[in-house]
Each structure stands twice: as C-alpha cells, then as structure tokens.
Amino acid sequence: MKAAEGPRDLAYRGPMRIVVLVSGTGSNLQAVIDAVTHGELDVEIAAVGADREGTYGVERSEDAGLETFVVNFNSFPTRAEWDAALTERVASYAPDVVVSSGFMRIVSADFIERFGGRYLNTHPALLPAFPGAHGVRDALAYGVKVTGCTVHWADAGVDTGPIIAQEAVVVEADDTEESLHERIKVAERKLLIDVLRRLAVGEIAAPSSDGGMRTSAF
Ligand code: GRF
C-alpha cells in the first residue's frame, strides 16, 4: 500500500489508481472489475469502500480479491466524524480518482478537495433532471419519455457538478421503476467504463490540484 499523500505528482506515468465507493449491489463496480480483469480498462482498483456492512458490493469486491473496507456511517456520532474517517481511509490508498458508484452518501467539500476535485459520480438520470436518491422513480412519475444516466465530477451538492458524459434511455410504456433502472444500469456501466478509459489515457480533462483542468494521462 502506498503512503497517504493525495493525488500523485503529474509526472508519474502508470495506471490510473481508483478507489470505488459503493452502498448497494455493486453491479457498476462489477462491470469495472470485469473490464479491468479482461484487459479492457487499464486502471488499478486500489480499494473498494462502503458506508455500511454486509452489502453485495462489498462481497463482490472481496470475491475479486480487492482491498475492501467499510467506514460505517452508523458507527459515528456525527456526519462530520464519519466524513473525516472516510477521507483518511480513502486517502491512505492515494487514489488519482475516487468513484462514487451507487454510493448513497453526500461527502463534504473537504473530502472532494482532498482528492483534488477528482470525485466521479454516476447517476441514473439525465442531470440536472431528477437528482437525488430516486432519480429513476422521479423520472417515471414525471412521465418523461427519455431518461438515462450521467457521469460527472461531483461537488458537495446532491448530484451536481460538471457533466462528463450522458447516455439516453427510452422509457417504455410498461416500464416499472425496476425494469427502467435495469436498462439504465446497462447503459450506465458502459458509460462509466468508457469515461474511466478516456480519463486514464487523457482524453478527458480531470480537475487538477491548482483548481484548473488538465488533459494529461495519469
Ligand atoms: C446506480 O444506478 C447508481 O447510479 C445509483 O444506484 C445504482 C447503483 O447500482 N445511484 P449498483 O450498486 O452499481 O448495482
């Protein structure tokens, strides 16, 4: 394990290191693991972290033999203390990019700053429409005919921050929240992997620690 040091020197050339944060079933995480395993994505998954015990996402990570940790939200008296503990734990893996992949907690501005603004989030709707924990349900309830998924640089708001990529998904007349979410997740996995691949080779600009954006590969 590397020492805690935050984003690495830009002169470093090696696979982009990511820490993936999950709360649920971790199907997006699994897609990333598979892409790395099959040599389709040249990134290093330094660790997978969760905010709760016993989720399928954690199991998937352990099954893949990845470094896995839980910073349990409910074990801390305040959100600030949980956030600080999460920040330190994630920082200990010195990630280039932190990926919120179905991570159902808002992190602080301090967390995001610690990782140079390189906090990637995936959301199952076409932001800025339908942010929040029920993006699929809300889109369906509104009656939109097209929704989709978004990968973006997250700030400390709820599903806000610069959009990197989006993919549209048509809503079918007989869709339920579950059926629609499943189709969105198919698009979401591809989008996330594509964004990570493009980031890793410098095709997409990443926030840099001086507050700007840079396009060099990791
Ligand atoms: C994804 O659709 C994500 O965007 C949303 O929750 C879902 C997580 O799915 N926030 P999984 O845990 O990757 O299966």
- For residue 208, being part of any structural domain is answered with no
Task: Give the C-alpha separation, 109 to 124, whole Å.
Answer: 23
- For residue 4, being part of any structural domain is answered with no
- For residue 70, being part of any structural domain is answered with yes
Range of the domain at 118: 16-203
Q: Quick check: helix, strand or coil at residue 164?
A: strand
- For residue 46, being part of any structural domain is answered with yes
- For residue 180, being part of any structural domain is answered with yes
Per-residue pLDDT tens digits of the chain, which is 218 residues long = 444 455 555 444 568 999 999 999 999 999 999 999 999 999 999 999 999 999 999 999 999 999 999 999 999 999 999 999 999 999 999 999 999 999 999 999 999 999 999 999 999 999 999 999 999 999 999 999 999 999 999 998 899 999 999 999 999 999 999 999 999 999 999 999 999 999 999 999 888 766 677 666 66
DSSP line for 56-123: HHHHHHHHTT--EEE--GGGSSSHHHHHHHHHHHHHTT--SEEEESS--SPPPHHHHHHTTT-EEEEE
Phi-psi category of residue 85: left, alpha or beta, with phi > 0 → left and psi -120 to 50 → alpha: alpha
For atom 2 of ligand 1, the residue with the nearest CA is 124
Q: CA–CA distance from 128 to each of 39, 51, 92, 121, 209 (Å)?
A: 33, 25, 32, 13, 26
Ligand 1 atom nearest residue 57's Cα: 12
Where residue 94 sits, what CATH number does that domain have? 3.40.50.170
Ligand 1 atom nearest residue 103's Cα: 10
Backbone φ, ψ for residue 30 (5° rounding): -60, -40
Q: Is 15 in the pocket of ligand 1 (CB under 6 A)?
A: no
Q: Is 101 in the pocket of ligand 1 (CB under 6 A)?
A: yes
- For residue 216, being part of any structural domain is answered with no
pTM to 2 decimal places? 0.91
Task: Give the C-alpha separation, 19 to 23, whole Å.
Answer: 14
Residue type, 153: W
Q: Is 208 in the pocket of ligand 1 (CB under 6 A)?
A: no
- For residue 54, being part of any structural domain is answered with yes
Q: What is the total count of domains within the chain?
A: 1
- For residue 211, being part of any structural domain is answered with no
Catalytic (active-site) positions: 123
